[in-house]
Amino acid sequence: MAYRWTNDLTHDDVTPQGAFLNRRQIMAGMAGLGLGSLAGGAQAQDALEPNSWEDVTSYNNYYEFGTGKDDPADNAHLLTTSPWSVTIDGMVDRPGEYDFKDIMAEMTVEERIYRFRCVEAWSMVVPWNGFELADLLAMAGVQDSAKYVAFETLYRPSEMPGTAYRVLDWPYREGLRLDEAMNPLTLMATGIFGKDLPNQNGAPLRLVVPWKYGFKSIKSIVRITLSDQEPPTSWNMSNGREYGFYSNVNPQVSHPRWSQATERRIGGGLFAKRQPTLMFNGYEDEVASLYDGMDLGKFY
């Protein structure tokens, strides 16, 4: 069945903020039918109009394949994504190498339409398919001592021409606090638009943390390690002044070299107006409480 989106939303179709998580259950039920937002109907819609397949798959950041926005689309076909396994280790009850196929057999894939905001101040709306990271972590059994989750991307120079350049200290590494990782918004994406994830978007599985700047959403994950220490992360190691561990989207805190108050929506055309960036990228109701008592101006 061709995958398509409804374009006929009226203002009455917009979901009130608080109803967002209810939408999830509806989507979970519909994902298997491939109906996505069509089937959600008026009660389950929000106002997000996804970008096109072309936008999402041809304007990418994936430095293992080059630093140009079109390099990943040109080069990521070199990547072998099957077989694939993910090592889950550290403070878990069942450490080991989990085959991607075995993971997929256990997980329920659902659709999530999320805003995606790069620290470079461009944005998209992406219809992801995936499962909650919390469900994957439950498979391995998180121990009480664990406080952080560290992620690593595959490092395979023979298939990743960009790794010949030391723009980052490979492998690409990212991390979350455990409560951030367990939040129901935190997704392990395995697809977009109801299709398998294209290589340039991080096949076969990548993280999506919609309230954080895009670089936190690490691609092509081969290792997940639970620990009690804040893990080192690639962009923070490369420039700690510009890229913090938290990196929550915050329009009030500028990057040292540019404002984060507004963003350019990809696909809007050359003369499109920039739009205001939302606190926590629009997910404030769902995640602000994770940071109670933290100075959000300080933890960039």
Ligand X SMILES: Nc1nc2c(c(=O)[nH]1)N[C@H]1C(S)=C(S)[C@@H](COP(=O)(O)O)O[C@H]1N2
**Could you list the residues that contact Mo ion (CB under 5 A)?**
61, 118, 214-215
203 lies in the binding site for ligand X (CB under 6 A)? no
In the complex, what is the shortest distance from the CB of residue 81 to ligand X, in angstroms, rounded to a whole number? 13
| Partner whose binding site includes residue 63, from Mo ion, ligand X, none (CB under 5 to 8 Å by kind) | ligand X
One of 45, 153, 248, 281 touching ligand X (CB under 6 A): 153
In the complex, what is the shortest distance from the CB of residue 217 to ligand X, in angstroms, rounded to a whole number? 5
Check if the beta carbon of residue 155 is closer than 8 Å to that of residue 168.
Answer: no
Q: Give the contacts of 157 (CB within 8 A, at least 6 positions apart).
A: 163, 164
Residue closer to Mo ion (CB basis): 150 or 209: 209
In the complex, what is the shortest distance from the CB of residue 275 to ligand X, in angstroms, rounded to a whole number? 17
Residue closer to ligand X (CB basis): 91 or 124: 124
In the complex, what is the shortest distance from the CB of residue 210 to Mo ion, in angstroms, rounded to a whole number? 13
In the complex, what is the shortest distance from the CB of residue 158 to ligand X, in angstroms, rounded to a whole number? 16
| Piece of 38-46, 91-99, 140-148, 210-218 that binds ligand X (CB under 6 A) | 210-218
| φ and ψ at residue 89, rounded to 5 degrees | -145, -170
Residue closer to ligand X (CB basis): 44 or 181: 181
Indicate the residue type of 83.
P
Chain centroid to Cα 48, Å, comes to: 16
98 lies in the binding site for ligand X (CB under 6 A)? no
| φ and ψ at residue 113, rounded to 5 degrees | -100, 110
Q: At what angle do helices 36-44 and 20-31 cross, to 10 degrees?
A: 150
Closest to 28 measured CA to CA, from 97, 110, 93, 151: 110
**What is the DSSP pairing of strand 96-99 with strand 187-192?**
unpaired
Residue closer to ligand X (CB basis): 90 or 191: 191
| Spatial separation of the C-alpha atoms in residues 229 and 214, rounded to whole Å | 23
Check if the beta carbon of residue 110 is closer than 8 Å to that of residue 81.
Answer: no
Check if the beta carbon of residue 194 is closer than 8 Å to that of residue 110.
Answer: no
300 lies in the binding site for ligand X (CB under 6 A)? no
In the complex, what is the shortest distance from the CB of residue 167 to ligand X, in angstroms, rounded to a whole number? 9
225 lies in the binding site for ligand X (CB under 6 A)? no
One of 210, 214, 231, 282 touching ligand X (CB under 6 A): 214
In the complex, what is the shortest distance from the CB of residue 293 to ligand X, in angstroms, rounded to a whole number? 29
**Residue at token pair 């769902």:** 286
Q: Give the contacts of 167 (CB within 8 A, at least 6 positions apart).
A: 63, 67, 238
| φ and ψ at residue 267, rounded to 5 degrees | 90, 0
Residue closer to Mo ion (CB basis): 45 or 277: 277
63 lies in the binding site for ligand X (CB under 6 A)? yes
- Residues lying near ligand X in the complex (CB under 6 A) are found at 60-64, 118, 153, 172, 201-202, 214-215, 217-220
